[in-house]
Amino acid sequence: MGRLILVPTPVGNLEDITLRALEVLKSADCILAEDTRRTGILLRHYGIKNRIITYHQHNEHKKVDTITAMITGGMTLALVTDAGTPSVSDPGFLLVRACIQKNIDVETLPGATAFIPALVNSGIPGDRFCFEGFLPHKKGRKKRIAQLQNETRTMVFYESPFRIVKLLEELADVMGPERQASVSRELTKIHEETARGSLDDLLKYFGKSDVKGEIVLVVAGKDK
């Protein structure tokens, strides 16, 4: 029987990948990728030639059985997403669960993820935090934000640049405009930026600009 190996890939700078991850991408029988074009850029950068199969949120339910059959048949497969660690707000969980249920070995390499640099850069306590990822766009969004009103741990969110102003407004309404927060965007890239201040400060700052890049929002917990 083969195994499944989850391989973190750079969130921006292509140099942010481990030697071990590169070796797995070279030696695996096949690579499962969220976007073959994005993964292709990474592989070409390091001169890696390997077979790539698409595995993303729109086909993961259909492909789980096929992929686990490939592994039980003896293949070692590497799973990557567009950026960061698979199954952290990206496809991966369903396949990992299926492999565990079938007693297939699963290995996850340490490596790139966006929220750790953003949390550390924020200057907000990181000894205890909760990762919220992407909030629901519609149903359940207000309820979830209301539930976080009294959260004392630091909170970490992922958000689209198109919705970051809306999220800052919603959090300020519930948690108060003076709650301290930090917004990191374009992490590890040329135009990397971290803006810090109150929710109101950040709302004024990003409300005046055309926000671009992937966003990590860190919000201080409620004072005890």
pLDDT above 90: residue 96: yes
132 and 155 Cβ atoms separated by less than 8 Å = yes
The fraction of the chain above a pLDDT of 70, given in percent, is 100
What is the average pLDDT across 43-52? 97
Of 73, 92, 108, which residue constitutes the final position of a domain?
108
Of 108, 136, 166, which residue constitutes the final position of a domain?
108
pLDDT above 90: residue 209: no
Q: Cβ neighbours of residue 88 under 8 Å, at least 6 residues apart?
A: 113, 115, 131, 133
Same domain, 90 and 123: no
Looking at residue 138, its pLDDT comes to 85
Residue 150 lies in a domain: yes
Question: How many Cβ atoms from other residues are within 10 Å of residue 184's Cβ?
Answer: 24
Residue 86 lies in a domain: yes
Residue 134 lies in a domain: yes
Of 79, 108, 137, which residue constitutes the final position of a domain?
108
Residue 12 lies in a domain: yes
- Give dist(CA 58, CA 45) in Å, integer: 27
Average pLDDT, the chain: 95
Which residue range forms the structural domain that includes residue 212? 115-219
Same domain, 67 and 121: no
pLDDT digits (tens, 9 = 90+) for 63-77: 999 999 999 999 999
Residue 149 lies in a domain: yes
Among all chains, which residue has been given the structure tokens 């991850």?
21
H helices present in 183-224, as ranges:
199-207
* CATH label of the domain that carries residue 155: 3.30.950.10
Do strands 52-54 and 30-33 pair parallel, antiparallel, or not at all (unpaired)? Answer: parallel
Q: What is the pTM of this model?
A: 0.91
- What is the number of domains present in the chain? 2
Band of residue 57 on the pLDDT scale cut at 50, 70, 90:
confident
- 218: tokens are 């860190």
